[in-house]
A and B are shown apart, each in its own frame.
Chain A
Amino acid sequence: MIRKRFLPLRGAKIVAWTVAAVAWMTAAIAGRVTAATTTTQTAAPDASASVTETTTQTTAPALPQNGLVVIRAGSTNSARGVQAVQTQPQQTVVRRVVQTPTVVQTPTRQRSGGS
């Protein structure tokens, strides 16, 4: 009886301490991100950083029906001066190995940077 009553209590305590620890770590990481952001903005404001005032803090794109290719999963928020929560790409992404196409002509390299 005693054992049966003790175990649920112990389990609850473990859960409570785990939640508290995760919350503390999250707060600590968020604090560091904010600090890094503030420092960057003060030190080197640039046009591209200020443009991001109009960007939103969305974690990742909605998953396309035919899968999502993650070419780079990175976080450069602090470097760009964006106050954003550090995010990871969605767990449901489809990673895809892409083959280089067979080229019969000499490759012609162009560039596209947006207009």
Chain B
Amino acid sequence: MHSDSFHAMGTTVTVTAEHAPSFTSVRDLFDHVEQVCSRFLDDSELAEVNRSQDEAVTLSPLLTDVFDEASNIRALTHGLIDPAIGGLMKAWGYDRTFEDVVDLDQAPILPVDDSEWWLEGCTLHRTPGLEFDLGGIAKGWTADLAVQLDLAPIVNAGGDLRSVREATVVDIDDPSGGIAASLHVGVGALATSSVAKRSWTVAGRRVHHIIDPRTGTPATTPILSASVIADRAVLAEAGAKTVLLLGSEGLAWADQQEWIRAALCVWNDGSIYATAGVTVA
């Protein structure tokens, strides 16, 4: 097995495969999905949707699939993971690829949250002006697709990982440094969401990129990072972010979800807790 990495979707994608041609195929797939789903590329389809003020927009098959997945995830997470936070992300200053995000002097005026969206076939209906961010979903979704298409047995998109190898073990980074735990994932997926990554300053206060749609502000949580194991990377990513947003109730919630195999949290006092489904390697 060999591994190779490339940069896509604002993160490092690592592909583990038997043969080198797999790397190129996976890279092409990520480039293609990014070209459709990125809100930072001016000529992407999503950027066009975000610019449009139309109530109904016809989507390409690929973007329809991603929005369909987003709709499914919104239901599974009781609305906590919703791509319709594009406007909020922008308001907090995350309006460009993260490497170029700059500190803001003043706290943002948050958009009024009376918006809604739904999918009808390949038509997206939304409150005019509502903007979307598919960043979190697209990475896991593409990693899943790459593995499902048999392009590679393991694809790790910035920590959102999908594997079809029984022996796959994942080292979870400790936000304080080192490894928090090594988990057996096997055939399945794992993703980690962390408030210690992607942070900047707004009005002198440190903020991070995980926006709580209930408040419109960066999440306030005792969890520094949350990892979830599920069947698919896109679900694991949504699960991890939800656990983080739910804070002290996160693990109890994860334990009750049939689509989540296990969850692990690094607490802000350095403790590491997990649900009973976890298998430490």
The listed residue (B160, B220, B248, B269) touching A86 by CB distance below 8 A is: B269
Cβ-closest chain B residue relative to A73? B271
B176 near A76: Cβ-Cβ < 8 Å: yes
User: Which residues of A are interface residues toward B (Cβ below 8 A)?
Assistant: 47-48, 50-58, 60-77, 79-80, 82, 84, 86-87, 89, 94, 96, 98-101, 103-115
Q: Decide if A111 touches B268 in the complex (CB within 8 Å).
A: no
B184, CB-defined interface residue at 8 Å: yes
> Is there a chain A Cβ closer than 8 Å to B255's Cβ?
yes
Chain A residues, Cβ within 8 Å of B168: 107-108, 110
Contact yes or no, A113 B169, CB < 8 A: no
Q: A51-B206, A71-B272, A110-B171 are known contacts. Are A104 and B222 too (CB-CB below 8 A)?
A: no
Contact B222 A54 (CB under 8 A): no
Q: Does B149 contact A (CB under 8 A)?
A: no
Q: A60-B273, A87-B269, A107-B169 are in contact. Are A115 and B193 (CB under 8 A)?
A: yes
Partner of B280 from A73, A98, A103, A112 at Cβ < 8 Å = A98
Q: Is B219 an interface residue (CB 8 A)?
A: yes
A106 neighbours in B (Cβ, 8 Å): 1, 167
Asked if residues A69 and B278 are in contact (CB atoms below 8 Å), the reply is yes
What residues on B are CB-neighbors of A75 within 8 Å?
269-271
Contact with A along B253-281 (1 / 0, CB 8 A): 01110000000110111111111111111
Tell which of B159, B218, B273 touches A113, judged by Cβ atoms closer than 8 Å: B159
Interface residue SS majority, chain A: loop
How many positions in chain B have a CB within 8 Å of any CB in the partner chain? 81
Q: Are A69 and B275 in contact (CB under 8 A)?
A: yes
B227 at the interface (CB under 8 A from A): yes
Write out the residue numbers on chain A whose beta carbons fall within 8 Å of the beta carbon of B156: 110-112
Q: How far is the CA of A70 from the CA of B136 in the complex (A)?
A: 28
- Given A74-B271, A108-B168, A112-B190: A54 touches B219 (CB 8 Å cut-off): yes
Chain B residues with CB under 8 Å of A71's CB are: 180-181, 264, 272-274, 278, 280
Candidates A60, A64, A108, A109; contact of B255 at CB < 8 Å: A64
**A84 near B159: Cβ-Cβ < 8 Å:** no
Tell me the chain B residues, 212-232 only, with Cβ under 8 Å from chain A. Answer: 218-225, 227
Given contacts A55-B222, A58-B222, A71-B264, contact A113 B197 (CB under 8 A): yes
Distance between Cα atoms of A75 and B166 in the complex (Å): 34
Residues of B within 8 A of A57 (CB): 222, 268
**Min distance, Cβ A92 to any Cβ of chain B, angstroms:** 12
- Tell me, in angstroms, the Cα distance from A50 to B201 when the chains sit together: 10
B70 within 8 A of A: no
| Contact B199 A51, beta carbon cutoff 8 Å | yes
| Best-surrounded residue of B1, B249, B278, B280 (most CB of chain A within 10 A) | B280
Q: How far is the CA of A103 from the CA of B182 in the complex (A)?
A: 15
- Distance from B6 Cβ to chain A, minimum over Cβ atoms (Å): 16
Structural contact, B194 and A113, CB atoms closer than 8 A: yes
Q: State whether B158 touches A115 (Cβ < 8 A).
A: yes
Known interface pairs A72-B271, A77-B268; A109-B169 also in contact (CB < 8 Å): yes
Chain B hits for A96, CB < 8 A:
276
| Residue B96, interface by CB 8 Å | no
Question: With the chains together, A47 CA to B194 CA distance in Å?
Answer: 13
